[in-house]
Amino acid sequence: MEVGSQLKKGFLDMSVLAILKRNDSYGYSLIQEMKALIEVPESTLYPILKRLVNKKYLKSYSKEHNGRLRKYYQITALGIEHLDASIKEWQQLKIIIDTMSEKKGD
């Protein structure tokens, strides 16, 4: 896996966790919320959700909606810890990139 795809994977994981930190949600709703950040097809989102559940960063539950069961996702305490740590790493990376990008004499 190349660095760019690893960064994107980390960004997508953080995006899902950040949205779910605000409130529980289901797949289609997550896709709609993420569109403001980045285009994420269903075929990409559901493996992310499964991976985050397997890592215990999320848990899922079913709830009836219009006579059908809908699968909701909820961030766990471990997921919040991971999100906070990831945000700190991205902030440190941003500082490094900003410093490298500064022009000499600025």
Model pLDDT for residues 29-53, shown as the tens digit of each residue? 999 999 887 888 888 899 999 999 9
On whether the CB atoms of residues 29 and 65 are closer than 8 A, the answer is: no
Q: With a cut of 70, say whether residue 105 has pLDDT above it.
A: no
In sequence order, the 6+-apart residues with CB closer than 8 A to the CB of 82 are: 17, 55, 57
In whole angstroms, give the CA distance from residue 4 to residue 31.
21
- Tracing tokens 């848990």 back to the chain, one arrives at 59
Mean pLDDT confidence for 1-17: 77
103 or 105, higher pLDDT: 103
Going by the DSSP 8-state scheme, the letter that residue 37 receives in this structure is T
Q: Per the structure block, which two tokens stand in for 82?
A: 């991971």
Distance CA 78, CA 14 (A): 13
- Please say if the pLDDT value at position 2 is more than 50: yes
User: What pLDDT score does 1 carry?
Assistant: 47
- If one compares 57 and 101, the residue with the highest pLDDT of the two is 57
